[in-house]
Amino acid sequence: KNQVEQSPQSLIILEGKNCTLQCNYTVSPFSNLRWYKQDTGRGPVSLTIMTFSENTKSNGRYTATLDADTKQSSLHITASQLSDSASYICVVARPNSGGGADGLTFGKGTHLIIQP
């Protein structure tokens, strides 16, 4: 069964500290892996997208890693800010075969709270 598991479920850290969020997946075949940031009650906003051949990608203070062999990804946030408080969702995409589903499997997200 195609699944995306994220850990921890929630995390509280102090402003200025670093943190790492984890994503393990069993989705196959694999097309790409995406990390989204979702503020409460808002739509997800893309942070990074990585294909099979990419093992790291950065977007400002966000750095995502991918190990396609072990089917693991992480999102590292450096020097956290209050505005980083949000849910971070890992999404794994299969090649879109054109029917049945849209090929995206979502994790439940990690709820991150940054405290001053």
Partner 1 sequence: ETGVTQSPTHLIKTRGQQVTLRCSSQSGHNTVSWYQQALGQGPQFIFQYYREEENGRGNFPPRFSGLQFPNYSSELNVNALELDDSALYLCASSQRGLGTEAFFGQGTRLTVV
Region binding partner 1 by CB under 8 A among candidate stretches 18-26, 28-36, 68-76, 78-86: 28-36
Residue 93 in the binding site for partner 1 (CB under 8 A): yes
Decide if residue 100 touches partner 1 (CB under 8 A). Answer: yes
Does residue 8 interact with partner 1 by CB under 8 A? no
Residue 74's CB: how many other CB atoms inside 10 A? 17
| Long-range contacts, stretch 27-30, CB < 8 angstroms, 24+ apart | 27/2, 27/3, 27/71, 27/92, 27/93, 27/94, 27/105, 28/2, 28/94, 29/94, 29/95, 30/68, 30/71, 30/92, 30/93, 30/94
Q: Considering the rule CB under 8 A, would residue 73 count as an interface residue with partner 1?
A: no
From the list 45, 79, 82, 113, which residue makes contact with partner 1 (rule: CB under 8 A)? 45
Residue 101 is a binding residue for partner 1 (CB under 8 A) = yes
42: contact with partner 1 by CB under 8 A:
yes
Q: Is 46 in the site for partner 1 (CB under 8 A)?
A: yes
Question: Which residues contact partner 1 (rule: CB under 8 A)?
Answer: 4, 31-32, 34, 36, 41-46, 49, 51, 89, 93, 95-96, 98-102, 104, 106-109, 111
